[in-house]
Every structure is written in structure tokens, then in C-alpha cells.
Amino acid sequence: MEIHEPELREVPVTVVLAALADDVRLQIVRTLAEGGEYACGTFEFGVSKATRSHHLRVLREAGLTRTRVAGTSRYVRLRREEIDRLYPGLLDAVLSRAAPAVTS
């Protein structure tokens, strides 16, 4: 299957920002920012797998992640270098802000 993975530089800035403007996707990005690859199933943030698949697609089509197919699994990783090159400071700024409180 063909995976649609645009170049970050070709994605409108509003699309990039919108991709990051969601709690579930931000949690995914936080995990990805630890570095390395993660199977989709890693991201258990209280949504169904259909929803998770949707969010991963939004991130991918925003040019923020890259996906490698291996067997029945797909491994996702953050395109850190490109993001930092095109949007220096963006990721750090966003991730340094406290995660939304789960309790309280």
C-alpha cells in the first residue's frame, strides 16, 4: 500500500499547526520525541484503534512523521531534523509546555 508522506516544506503552516493542535496527537508527538521508532499500537491514549489510525494519518500527512512498514506492523518516527530545520524552536516550545492534566 502506498503511504502518503509529503515533504514538510510543502505542507502549509496552518496544516502543521492544526496537526499539533489536538491532545491525542500531542501525546503521540511527546512519545515520538523520546526518539526512535514506535509501532502504532504503542499509542494507547484512550481512543479506539480507528481513531488512533486517524490521528497518525493526520500527523503523517502534515509531514511530521515517517512510517516504515514491516510485516503487519508500522513503525512511526518523528521527522525531527526537518521539523527543527523548517520550524526552529516549534517542537521544543510546544513540548516544553505542560501536558494537559489527566487528573484534576
Partner DNA sequence: ACCCTTGTTCGACAATACTCGAACAAGGGC
Partner DNA sequence: GCCCTTGTTCGAGTATTGTCGAACAAGGGT
| Site residues (CB under 8 A) for a copy of itself, limited to 18-57 | 18, 20-23, 26
Looking only at Cα atoms, what is the longest distance across the chain?
43
Q: Out of DNA, a copy of itself, none, which partner does residue 36 contact, by CB within 5 to 8 A per kind?
A: none
- DSSP code per residue over 24-66: HHHHHHHHHTT-S-EEGGG--SSS-HHHHHHHHHHHHHTT-EE
Handedness of CA 69, 84, 51, 18 (dihedral sign): negative
Q: Pick from a copy of itself, DNA, none: which does 35 bind, CB < 5 to 8 A by kind?
A: none
**Residues from 13 through 32 that contact DNA (CB under 7 A):** 18, 21-22, 24
| Choice between 73 and 85, CB closer to DNA | 73
All cell numbers assigned to 98: 505542560
Query: In the complex, what is the shortest distance from the CB of residue 10 to DNA, in angstroms, rounded to a whole number?
Result: 17
Lookup result for grid cell 516544553: 96
Q: CB under 7 A: which stretch of 28-36, 68-76, 78-86, 89-97 binds DNA?
A: 68-76
Cell of 15: 496544516
Chain residues in the site for DNA (CB under 7 A): 1, 18, 21-22, 24, 39-41, 46-58, 67, 71-74
